[in-house]
A and B are shown apart, each in its own frame.
Chain A
């Protein structure tokens, strides 16, 4: 019986370890999931100022402005219904372009989005999935029900 007891204690130890690991993973999920919003949603949702989120849409034509002599860049992102101004410090990704879909990560305070990161796809030819969906939600997208992002 002694061996059986030992076995039991090992199994329960393993079980406890799995529970601990699960708790760890769940806690990490709780804190670190970033939700994606379209410009219209971000305006209409109650958001905490320090909540990290992603905002996606098209960069409005002619809205990109660089503060001369400083690395601060501002531009507007739109889903063709709502436009949200974004402030970003740094070098924009290689594929950033006006009229192009981008995703920005950061937080939203007082009607402005402060981006810590701006993502554009490695491939310029296609619309990222989230952005196509944001445009669809805004009702401006009249195309295929499901847009497929194509990347390479």
Chain B
């Protein structure tokens, strides 16, 4: 009888652990987007200051593209930027940017001026319209879109050289061949 008490902590720990695991399970980071293999939703974003053309879903038709959500406030975007510059310099794939949640319309363009602009077109997205269309939860996030405007791949977080070489670039090559 007395021994049962000594097992109580173990039982409570087990119950607690189950709840905590379930709690963790509720927040998986990289669940594939429900948008995968679906056409991009319609959206239209104004240009950022200093440019004439914004970004809409129609711009993404006709060729394989990479859509990148970024913001000058975002640390990981800064880290990703060098890679994006390399990609655009080598003309690997056109990159379209969504400049997300800038505090004012000046910092985004200034950031691109300082670090270089790898984007074919950039849409200004202070109201999260574009981000919500793509279901973005955090920046940076990138999407590979095929010729028909269908989302084929989503990457959450920074694209590193590794992920680019091993994952993203092979997918783009495949899509280009189709």
Contacts and interface: CB of A to CB of B under 8 A. Distances in A.
Q: Do A and B touch each other in the complex, judged by CB within 8 A?
A: yes
Interface of A: 58, 61, 80, 97, 99-100, 124-127, 129, 132, 135, 140-150
B74 A125 contact: yes
Closest 8 CB pairs of A and B: A143-B135, A147-B137, A142-B135, A148-B27, A144-B31, A148-B29, A126-B138, A145-B31
Contacts of B75: 125
Contacts of A144: 30-34, 135, 137, 156
A148 B135 contact: no
Given A61-B126, A61-B127, A141-B132, A127 B27 contact: no
Given A97-B103, A142-B34, 19 more contacts: A58-B128, A125-B71, A125-B73, A125-B139, A126-B137, A129-B27, A141-B135, A142-B35, A142-B132, A142-B133, A142-B134, A142-B135, A143-B134, A144-B30, A144-B34, A146-B27, A147-B137, A148-B27, A150-B137
Interface of B: 26-35, 41, 71, 73-75, 101, 103, 126-128, 132-139, 156
- Where chain B touches its partner, the secondary structure class is loop
Contacts, number: 66
Contacts of A142: 34-35, 41, 132-135
Nearest to B102: A99
A99 B101 contact: yes
A150 to B, nearest CB: 5
A126 B77 CA distance: 13
Contacts of B30: 144
B75 to A, nearest CB: 8
Contacts of A126: 137-138
